[in-house]
Amino acid sequence: MATTSLDSKRLSGLQNIATQLRIDSINATTAAGSGHPTSCLSAAEIMAALFFHVMRFDPRNPQDADNDRFVLSKGHAAPVLYSAWAELDLFPREHLKTLRRFDSDLEGHPTPLLPFVAVPTGSLGQGLAVGLGMALAARMDGRLYRSYVLMGDGENAEGSVWETAELASFHQVDTLCGIVDVNRLGQSQPTMLQHELEIYKRRWTAFGWLALVVDGHDLNQLLAAFEQAAETHGRPTVILARTFKGHGVSFLNDQENWHGKALKPQEAEKALGELQAQMQPGGERPTPLPPARANVTTRPPEPMPAPNFNRAQPVATREAFGEALAAAGAGDTRLSVLDGDVKNSTFTEDFQAKAPGRFVEGFIAEQNMVGMAMGLAAAGRIPFVSTFACFLTRAADFIRLAGLARSNVKFVGTHAGVSIGEDGGSQMGLEDLAMFRALPESTVLYPSDATSAWRAVELAIHQPGVVYIRTGRPKQPILYDTKEAFAIGKGKLLRSGNQDVATVVAAGVTLNEALKAADELKSQGVAIRVIDLFSVRPVDTALLLEAARATQNLLITVEDHHAAGGLGDAVAEAVGPEGVRVVRLAVREMPRSGKPEELMAQQKIDAAAIRDTVLQWVPARVGR
């Protein structure tokens, strides 16, 4: 490919920065006694080119909304990223030697504790999806920034990279530029393709990208490639940079068995001597160009309208969610919605009809869908990700990183539990509550009717961080008046009396089963208390303990979810320290196809099972 020609002093200055990044990376990892110095050395020219010539940003304000975006997908090369920002004078160079210390913000892999890191990286294969989300946010917001993602060659084995590759091409996102540091060596052995750059090029080209092969240690070639990427319209660009792991140090260059190994002090001294000798006199220190400013106007979000459902007409909570999201999106331009080719089942098509420019069809690629949402959130948007609850588990690692990032992403899982019926076990979300409850600082809401589903959407918009809303397939009776208030961390007491012999705690479809059981038991002269948990995380501990004290210190939970990690565990964790006994009804047998009522009866989570459990556990109070 063509090369660009820089003034010799500026070119020398860029090369000196690359050398300095290598020096800093070795110093930092040797001081830490661990890390990935050779992975940093291969990317030094790429980082120097990006941060000191290509990207437009304000180094004094890393979170400027108009800054070009950078994601270090190969997060194990964190020291070279930290070194670039030290070179930009964001913090003293000496701070680099605190790498990986408990009291340092320079962690082993980048995290958003740092103002120049949008998302945590290092679980390979995620960065490109995040970069795509950032590029889509720029399009939605009318901003001019470009998004750059540096990947390792080994992570090109991850299917999520190719999920992103095909979608970025489909949506013609030409402000996204990927860079693959093809340094040939993985952790334990050479990568599959090693330096077969033409194969890489054919693969990326087949996915619709402009693929440019360069010598990744030649600044002229790198700069020409970045220039061509910026001038390319209608498709994304990937720069395939042929590099060598450990480049710049003779005894590390292209050598196996150095991945993730810091140099010992004597080795570091030898390496640093070689690198210092490569410094070129008379180099001109380049500085980044300022961000390209866009004339962006925003309007403040309007209050979400109140729900307006006919209480005589049952409504599925997934349908109510769709209506609520569309209503919210009409007045709040911060909202974006991503769906995985099930919008006519999740009802996100309602939002698409009202705000098509803020709807992203992710097709059947859930990992990429979540990664895009993380990028959208990092750019200041409020993304809702919706698909069947079971399919969200496909993206579990992405969701895990979203939790680590405190990413402001809202997840909605529909078609939860065995109550979906005939579709069978592969379509039944039965692990989703456990997955989202396990995330640090997550919020988990489980509405049981249309009104609470509407309010759950409203709460999610205003709740920072990861929020999960679990919705169901069957139509449900409307239990609450449209003026009923809901809150995170609060449940609802639906049935209570002085003669209650047990408390049943439920949510979603099982709440209606609990109410049916309460009516049947009442006809037999047995009174029970019924709680709609609604907020599964955090739970309403005070309400649960009050109910337990009134009903023999016993709570019976019932849920359309596996026993591990769900509603029952949430309740037990809350009240267990107070000595409350929790009896858990949950899905315990292998799920299969059948009618919803058949499946719920088989799993013993229907009204009959609740009735029988009450009679079994409190015989003394009911005269048995």
Q: Determine the 3-state secondary structure of 178 from DSSP.
A: strand
Q: Give the pairing of strands 475-476 and 554-562.
A: unpaired
Specify whether the CB–CB gap between 4 and 30 falls below 8 A.
no
3-state secondary structure 57-79: CCCCCCCCCCCCEEEECCHHHHH
User: How many CB atoms are located within 10 Å of the residue 549 CB?
Assistant: 12
Specify whether the CB–CB gap between 119 and 374 falls below 8 A.
yes
Can you tell me the distance from the alpha carbon of 352 to that of 341, in angstroms, rounded to the nearest whole number? 12
Locate all alpha helices (DSSP H) within 465-620, ordered by sequence. Answer: 509-523, 541-550, 567-575, 596-602, 607-617
To 5 degrees, how large is the angle CA 490–CA 445–CA 141?
Answer: 120
Q: Which two tokens stand for residue 605?
A: 């989570």
**Sheet containing strand 535-537, strands side by side:** 359-361, 335-339, 382-388, 410-414, 467-470, 443-445, 535-537
Q: Is the peptide bond before 115 cis (omega within 30 degrees of 0)?
A: no
- Specify the amino acid at residue 425: G
Specify whether the CB–CB gap between 331 and 302 falls below 8 A.
yes
| Helix and strand element counts for the chain (H, E) | 22, 19
Specify whether the CB–CB gap between 330 and 304 falls below 8 A.
no
Specify whether the CB–CB gap between 576 and 568 falls below 8 A.
no
DSSP 486: -
Q: Which two tokens stand for residue 576?
A: 């267990």
What distances in angstroms separate CA 503 from CA 346, 478, 517, one per listed residue?
Answer: 33, 22, 12
Based on the residue annotation, tell me whether 196 is a catalytic residue of this protein: no
What distances in angstroms separate CA 294 from CA 58, 300, 340, 493, 619, one per listed residue?
Answer: 15, 19, 31, 51, 71
Specify whether the CB–CB gap between 517 and 614 falls below 8 A.
yes
Q: Which of 461, 411, 375 is nearest to 171 (CA)?
A: 375
Which are the contacts of 49, defined by CB distance < 8 A and separation ≥ 6? 14, 219, 222, 223, 226
Specify whether the CB–CB gap between 91 and 99 falls below 8 A.
no
Can you tell me the distance from the alpha carbon of 390 to that of 372, in angstroms, rounded to the nearest whole number? 19
- Specify the amino acid at residue 287: T
- Specify the amino acid at residue 377: A
> 193 — phi, psi (to 5°)?
-100, -10
296 backbone φψ class: left, alpha, beta (φ>0; ψ -120 to 50): beta
Specify whether the CB–CB gap between 228 and 256 falls below 8 A.
no
Q: Which of 163, 323, 366, 513 is catalytic?
A: 366
Q: Which two tokens stand for residue 47?
A: 């980082």
- For residue 412, the surrounding DSSP H or E stretch is strand 410-414
Q: Which residues are known to be catalytic?
A: 366
